[in-house]
């Protein structure tokens, strides 16, 4: 209960008392003053109740907005971690593919050298490639 509600209750009770006294004494002026004070008291109580409702509503909105903000931050943090995890996996896959590609290129290069006669002994390559070995036989 806020101060407007307290003042309103006091004015309502005091106005009711004045009105009652005016009825007992036949004083119309006191009855009207009491009725006026009662109306003022009821209006003050209503104003206080409305202020409390607005304050309570404001607190609820503030709490819900705070919870929504916390949930948003949590979702962003979770999303960031998920993206980091996926990026790490993608990096590892790319790294493995690069390593595998280099190994495959090295293997193919070795196979090509073997197919081109690169598997001959360097002495044999020199003898057959220079032409001196044929000339010296004769």
Going from the C-alpha of 110 to that of each of 113, 122, 123, the distances in angstroms are 5, 16, 20
Residue 130 has pLDDT above 50, yes or no: no
How far, in Å, CA of 84 to CA of 8, rounded?
61
Residues contacting residue 28 through CB under 8 Å, at least 6 positions apart: 22
Q: Where are the domains of the chain?
A: 3-84
How far, in Å, CA of 126 to CA of 111, rounded?
21
Q: What is the pLDDT of residue 137?
A: 47
Q: What is the pLDDT of residue 21?
A: 92
The predicted model scores a pTM of 0.50
For residues 41-51, one letter each, b for 16 or more C-beta atoms within 10 angstroms of the residue's C-beta and e for the rest, the string is: beebbeebeee
């Amino acid at each position: 209960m806020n101060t407007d509600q307290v003042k309103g209750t006091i004015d309502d009770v005091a106005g009711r008392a004045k009105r009652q006294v005016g009825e007992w004494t036949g004083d119309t002026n006191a009855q009207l003053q009491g009725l006026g004070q009662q109306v003022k008291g009821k209006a003050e109580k209503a104003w206080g109740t409305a202020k409390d409702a607005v304050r309570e509503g404001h607190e609820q909105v503030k709490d819900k907005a705070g919870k929504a903000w916390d949930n948003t931050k949590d979702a962003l943090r979770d999303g960031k971690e998920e993206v980091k995890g996926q990026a790490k996996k993608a990096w590892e896959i790319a790294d493995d593919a690069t390593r595998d590609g280099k190994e495959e290129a090295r293997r193919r290069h070795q196979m090509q050298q073997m197919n081109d006669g690169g598997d001959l002994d360097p002495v044999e390559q020199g003898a057959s490639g220079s032409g001196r070995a044929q000339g010296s036989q004769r």
